[in-house]
Structure 1
Amino acid sequence: MKTQFKTIVVSDIHLGTKGSKAKEVVRFLKKYRCENLILNGDIIDGWQLKKSGSWKRKHTRFFNRILKMIDNDHTKVYYLRGNHDDFLDQILPLQIGNLSIQKDLIYHSNGKKYMVLHGDVFDSITTNLRWIAYMGDIGYTFLLWLNRLVNYHRRKRGLSYFSLSQYVKGKVKSAVSYIDKYEQELAMMAKAKGCDGIICGHIHKAEARIIDGIEYYNSGDWVETMSALAEDYEGNWQLIYYNEIDFGKVTTDDKIIPMPQSDESYSAVSFTKPNDDLELPPFRF
């Protein structure tokens, strides 16, 4: 039986790379239905496609699934630009039916206001020193290659999946410090803008916690973590991990079990191109 969520957020799928778990994210999106789907940046990895990346049929199937959600379920889809799909800058903002492509947005739900953006705008390395960011991308790609090799041998020995890059991030003090500072800065920005929370991606670290009174949510990624954020109709957010989902009890044709509907009335979404001081367009439900 399918669960109906109000909003689902996924980010950092990196389509066009070998590490992208395109099949898994499509399977995930077949299990759940939602009114709103936010694709929060780095969905397509333009950086890798310019170099050694390649586009596969499974990557196309992801967008086929998105179109089916729009057509069959009337899902509203919001594709927010990330640093790896910065080629979208050439067309922002764009709205075609239930598909909107933009830089960022403000999401209103159950009396709360959330800033939603990929998060690279707060990464001084990505925004100001692009060549260093590219070098970091090469290093991360190497870690993913090594990670596949490690897990190939682990599977042969009957061992569970092991994330090498997550292990490295947890052991290197500078990486731990960077992640903590990143989260703190995002929370401070959300607070300065009068928001109750921040929803982001970018650093491939799924998280849901309170920082100085601000709700901080990071949807993780679909390269290693394979996680997403989901909101029910009462305004409760939760992280969903692909490896913890029981797919044995559901097929794509199963009936929906809807979440309890709130009495809140929904208004239309309006979009304007955000300016440099992050006056984000409203997104109300």
Structure 2
Amino acid sequence: MKTQFKTIVVSDIHLGTKGSKAKEVVRFLKKYRCENLILNGDIIDGWQLKKSGSWKRKHTRFFNRILKMIDSDNTKVYYLRGNHDDFLDQVLPLKVGNLSIQKDMMYESHGKKYYILHGDVFDSITTNLRWIAYLGDIGYTFLLWLNRQINSYRQKRGLPYYSLSQYVKGKVKSAVSYIDKYEEELAKMAKAKGCDGIICGHIHKAEARMIDGIHYLNSGDWVETMSALAEDHEGNWQLIHYNEIDFAKPNSDHDKIIPIQDHQAYSAVSFQKPNEDIELPPFRF
């Protein structure tokens, strides 16, 4: 029997690019059942598809899996727009059966309210200086290509996966400062909206921590980290890393869940669009 969660959040799959781990995310979604699946932006990489990207059968299989979850498990799917799939602006908002496509959302569960968005709203580069963002995207694409070459070499020698881009970001002081500032600004946004927490993606850095009383959650990505967020039926959130899953182990509804934060027990869960937009001054980096 599949392990069942109330909600699973994945983001930054970047379908249409060579770096996308489409097969892995499909395998992950086959292992778990959930009532709600939130696709939190950059699922399809429209930027790369306009340039050198290509659509593969494995990318189509991802959406086949989503449709299967809707049909077989009655999963409600929420696709939130990211900066790389900003082409969705042309159809927002859209609801067809159990599939909703929207910009952002409020999620209430077990007495806690979370604001969910991709997160590029606080990225002054992608929102204000698009040409610089495209230039950075080219550099990141090259870094991922180099990363594949390195890991192909390591795999042949029985060595574990190594993330070159995560190493670079960890060593570059400005990148570390940007990520810290990014997380702090999103926490401020959640507090301004009267929320207990915020769930985002965008920066490809899985995280779960408290920031000034706000529960900050980032689902990571499916290019390198291969991670997702999952909420159990008691309201506990956890980060799940693909490389730590034992796929040989039979699934069970009684699998042990290690909570990120204790929650009080309530019964209601609801989804709604935010009623107001609160603008905070953008930061520069």
Structure 2 residue aligned with 1:45: 45
Rounded Cα–Cα distance in structure 2 between residues aligned with 1:121 and 1:38: 18
Runs of 4+ with deviation above 3 angstroms: 254-260, 269-272, 274-278
Alpha carbons 1:2, 1:257 under 8 Å: kept: no
Q: Alpha-carbon deviation of 1:249?
A: 2.2
Q: CA deviation at 1:239?
A: 0.2
Q: Distance in 1 between matches of 2:269 and 2:218?
A: 25
Residue 267 of structure 2 aligns with which residue?
A: 264
The answer to whether the aligner puts 1:7 opposite 2:7 as a matched pair is: yes
Q: Which residue pairs with 2:135 in the alignment? A: 135
CA distance in structure 2 between the partners assigned to 1:170 and 1:258 by the alignment: 33
What's the counterpart of residue 220 of structure 1? 220
Give how far 1:259 is off.
9.6
CA distance in 2, matches of 1:236, 1:139: 37
Q: Does the Cα contact within 8 Å between 1:4 and 1:258 map onto a contact in 2?
A: no
Task: Give 1:237's aligned residue.
Answer: 237
Query: Are the counterparts in 2 of residues 117 and 200 from structure 1 also a CA contact under 8 Å?
Result: yes
Q: What value does the CA root-mean-square deviation take over the aligned residues?
A: 1.8
Partner Cα distance (1:97, 1:47) in 2: 28
Residue 271 of structure 1 and its aligned partner are, at CA, apart by 4.7
| Structure 2: distance between partners of 1:39 and 1:227 | 13
Measure, in 1, the Cα distance between the counterparts of 2:114 and 2:83.
21
For residue 192 of structure 1, report the CA deviation from its aligned partner.
1.1
C-alpha contact 2:42 2:202 (8 A) present in aligned 1: yes
**TM-score of the superposition, structure 2-length normalised?**
0.91
Cα contact 1:205–1:219 (8 A) shared by 2: yes
Structure 1: where are the runs of 5+ without partners? 279-285
Please show how residues 102-251 of structure 1 align to structure 2 within 5 Å: 102-250=102-250
What's the secondary structure of 1:235's corresponding residue?
coil
Q: Give a deviation string over 1:57-112, Cα, whole Å, max 9, x none.
A: 00000000000000000000000000000000000000000000000001001001
Structure 2 distance, partners of 1:196, 1:158, is 44
Query: How far 1:265 sits from its partner (Å)?
Result: 3.9
* Displacement of 1:158: 1.3
Contact 2:110/2:268 (<8 A) preserved:
no
TM-score under structure 1 length normalisation? 0.91
Gaps of 5+ in 2: 258-264, 280-285
CA contact (8 A) 2:111 2:268 kept: no
Going from structure 1 to structure 2, the CA distance change for 1:2 and 1:41 (only over 3 Å counts) comes to same
Shift of 1:270: 4.6
The CA deviation at 1:48 is: 0.1
| Secondary structure in 2 matching 1:160 | coil
> The residue matched to 1:248 in structure 2 has which SS?
coil
CA contact (8 A) 2:80 2:118 kept: yes
Does the C-alpha gap of structure 1 residues 275 and 191 become closer, same or farther in structure 2, counting only changes over 3 Å?
closer
SS, match of residue 63 in structure 1: helix
Alpha-carbon separation, structure 1, partners of 2:45 and 2:13: 8
Structure 1 letter corresponding to 2:205: K
Letter paired with 1:264: S
